[in-house]
């Protein structure tokens, strides 16, 4: 069954997509081109002197072992954020889908965190986990855990992952819930009559039918972890301790905005852009094959 809308007019479809294309060009392509242009230049902060230096900015980056380390940190961070973000929200969505009474209230509460800005989410979690005054720290100390993310890199990573995941769960939850509601009840009932346990019904019917949603969320969550999480990092660890939470996008922000090093920062964003393009292509070519629409 294929749905197709046919426009009689030749220009109307173009006119309808024109605003979207204009926005994309002005806010995406134009800045991206500028970033590429700046990445080949060496400039002082005020733009008074600039010289073309070819690939020198890129060479400097890859010579810096800390920048290369930042790749590992970013990879770990985005895998953790995407995995936990998707897993937890899938669990919550399946639960909320079965609730009979007060379903609306549960759903509203679960969607709520999405309205919180990343920086605010970061500050909230940083307060809860603050090394000397945080409530969670207090509880953890009671259990004999030495909680100090100011100095312990792995704990700092836990903190930023928790804050970022919490922030993203609502979004994922919404999509999973919509996906679950579009699965025909008759399929599940038939399986139930055949004697399949809820666990089995989930893995053989529900999860495969949700695979387009899961795939879409995987792409979105990876992009989220790569780009949108710098607010969380800036409000909490600022990349520290050492370099333990210095993800690529935070370094772009720090070098470009805080330190006014435009060439180096642009080179980093160009690299970041290529990574995300590459990741998305890989996801569409290989992961998508396993998706059943």
Partner 1 sequence: MRIKLLTAALTSAALFAGNAQAQIEIQWWHSMGGALGEALNGLANKFNLVQKEYKVVPTFKGSYPESMTAAIAAYRAGNAPHMLQVFEVGTATMMSAKGAIVPVAKVMTDAKETFDPKAYLPTVTGYYSDQKGNMLSFPFNSSTVMFYVNKDAFKKAGLDPNKPPKTWKEVVAAAEKLKASGHPCPYTTSWPSWMHIENFSAWHNVPIGTKENGFGGLDTQFTINSPLHVKHVSMLADMSKKGLFTYAGRTNQGDAKFSSGECAMFSGSTGAQAGIRKAGKFEWSINFIPYHDDVKGAPQNSIIGGASVWVMGGKKPEEYKGVAKFLAFLSRPDIQMDWHTTTGYVPITQAAYDMTKKSGFYDKDPGAELAVKQLTNKPPTANSKGLRFGNFVQGRTVIEEELENVFSGKKEAKPALDDAVKRGNEILRQFEAANK
Binding site for partner 1 (CB under 8 A): 42-49, 53, 60, 64, 66, 131-133, 150-153, 238-243, 254-255, 257-261, 263-264
- Smallest separation (angstroms) from partner 1 to the CB of 244: 9
Assess whether the previous peptide bond of 38 is cis (omega < 30° from 0): no
- Smallest separation (angstroms) from partner 1 to the CB of 225: 22
Nearer to partner 1, 41 or 78 (CB): 41
Nearer to partner 1, 94 or 243 (CB): 243
Residue 92's closest CA among 80, 103, 81, 77? 103
With b for 16 or more beta-carbon neighbours within 10 A and e for fewer, the 197-230 pattern comes to eeeebbeebbeebbbebbbbbbbbbbebbbbebb
- Smallest separation (angstroms) from partner 1 to the CB of 160: 15
Query: What is the Cα–Cα distance from 83 to 152, expressed in whole angstroms?
Result: 23
- Are 244 and 157 spatial neighbours (Cβ–Cβ below 8 Å)? yes
- Smallest separation (angstroms) from partner 1 to the CB of 165: 24
**Residue 260 burial (CB count, 10 A):** 12
Two tokens, residue 171:
């979004």
Nearer to partner 1, 42 or 110 (CB): 42
- Smallest separation (angstroms) from partner 1 to the CB of 20: 28
Q: Which stretches of the chain are DSSP H helices?
A: 12-24, 30-39, 56-63, 65-98, 103-111, 118-128, 135-142, 153-181, 185-193, 198-201, 207-223, 230-235, 248-253, 262-282
Nearer to partner 1, 10 or 133 (CB): 133
Nearer to partner 1, 146 or 189 (CB): 146
Nearer to partner 1, 32 or 151 (CB): 151
- Smallest separation (angstroms) from partner 1 to the CB of 4: 47
């Amino acid at each position: 069954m294929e749905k197709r809308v046919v426009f009689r007019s030749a220009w109307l479809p173009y006119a309808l997509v024109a605003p979207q294309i204009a926005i994309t060009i002005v806010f995406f392509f134009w800045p991206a081109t500028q970033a590429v242009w700046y990445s080949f230049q060496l400039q002082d902060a005020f733009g008074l002197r600039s010289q073309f230096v070819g690939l020198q900015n890129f060479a400097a980056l890859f010579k810096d072992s800390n920048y290369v380390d930042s790749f590992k940190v970013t990879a770990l961070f985005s895998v953790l954020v995407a995995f936990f973000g998707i897993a937890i929200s899938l669990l919550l969505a399946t639960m909320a889908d079965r609730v009979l009474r007060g379903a609306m209230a549960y759903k509203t509460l679960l969607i709520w965190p999405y309205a919180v800005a990343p920086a605010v989410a970061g500050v909230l979690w940083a307060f809860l986990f603050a090394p000397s005054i945080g409530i969670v720290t207090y509880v953890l100390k009671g259990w004999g855990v030495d909680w100090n993310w100011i100095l312990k890199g792995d704990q700092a990573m836990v903190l930023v992952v928790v804050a970022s995941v919490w922030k993203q769960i609502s979004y994922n939850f919404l999509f999973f819930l919509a996906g679950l509601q579009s699965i025909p009840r008759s399929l599940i009932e038939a399986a139930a009559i055949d004697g399949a346990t809820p666990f089995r019904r989930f893995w053989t019917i529900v999860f495969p039918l949700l695979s387009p949603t899961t795939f879409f969320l995987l792409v979105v969550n990876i992009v989220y972890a790569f780009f949108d999480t710098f607010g969380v990092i800036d409000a909490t660890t600022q990349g520290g301790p050492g370099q333990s939470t210095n993800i690529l996008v935070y370094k772009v922000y720090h070098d470009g905005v805080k330190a006014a090093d435009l060439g180096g920062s642009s080179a980093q964003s160009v690299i970041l852009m290529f990574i995300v393009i590459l990741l998305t292509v890989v996801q569409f070519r290989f992961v998508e094959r396993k998706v059943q629409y």
